[in-house]
Each structure stands twice: as structure tokens, then as C-alpha cells.
Amino acid sequence: MRLLCSVLALLLAPLAQAEPLAPLPSTSQGEGYAVLIVSRERLEVATTCEVALYLHDQMAARLHQGQSVSFNLPPGRVSLRLGLTGTGPCQDGINQLAGQSLELQAGEVRRYRIAMGSDGLRLHAAPMLN
């Protein structure tokens, strides 16, 4: 057994002293984009209405409780709005919803959660998952 360990150590010694390999050039098509993840946690917005997410004044998603959505977006400023949507008391109103802006960098991943505050629905930064 001792002989086997000695032989393995001799064979692996040059590998331990080898120069680190240069990183391979990236061929990922998504490297010029940022990822935006928005989730609606079950306890944050206590309504059965759907939450509509608008990107640049265009409805991009409808979220029920417990759902999340992700977008690959080009870097730069992104304007976002949130509102309740659906039927009955959930119908869109005629008022303009307050918005938020984010500045996204290429290659980053941002996570947000939808929460209800005194000023209505807002996106709050969520901790990154490990």
C-alpha cells in the first residue's frame, strides 16, 4: 500500500507544479446581457390578483403567488412598473403606475422580489442564492 502511494505521489508531482491554464475564450452568446429575476413570494403581496410586470411600458409578465420570471436584457437602464391585473377588483385602473429604474451591467444577475409598501407595489433587492 505504501509503495502504491509513493508511486502515485511521483506521478502526480509534475501536475501540482504545472502552470495554471489560461482561461478559454468565452463563446457564450449571453455574455453581453444581464439577467433580471423577479419573484413574487407568497407572503409579500397578500392578494389573489395577478401582479403585472411592465418593462419599458410593455407588459412582460403576470405573476401569481409563488411564481418567478427571468429576463435576459441588454445592459443599460431598464424602466419597470408593477400593477395588479385580472378581473373584478383586480382590473387595471386608469391611473399611471409609479415606476422604478435599474441600471444593468453585462454579465450580472440581479434578483428582486415584489413587495407591497405604503407607496404600492415595489421591487426590493433579494439576496443571491448560493
HEC letters along the chain: CHHHHHHHHHHHHHHHCCCCCCCCCCCCCCCCCEEEEEECCCCCCCCCCEEEEEECCEEEEEECCCCEEEEEECCEEEEEEEEEECCHHHCCCCCCCCEEEEEECCCCEEEEEEEEECCEEEEEECCCCC
Q: Residue 111's closest CA among 61, 52, 60, 38?
A: 38
Spatial distance between the Cα atoms of 14 and 28, rounded to a whole number of angstroms: 32
Phi (first) and psi of residue 15, to 5 degrees: -70, -35
pTM of the full structure: 0.68
Please give the single-letter amino acid code of residue 8.
Answer: L
User: pLDDT digit string (tens) for 12-35?
Assistant: 444 444 444 444 444 444 468 999
CB 52 within 8 A of CB 123: no
The pLDDT of residue 108 is above 60: yes
pLDDT digits (tens, 9 = 90+) for 26-82: 444 446 899 999 999 877 777 778 888 999 989 999 998 889 999 999 999 999 998
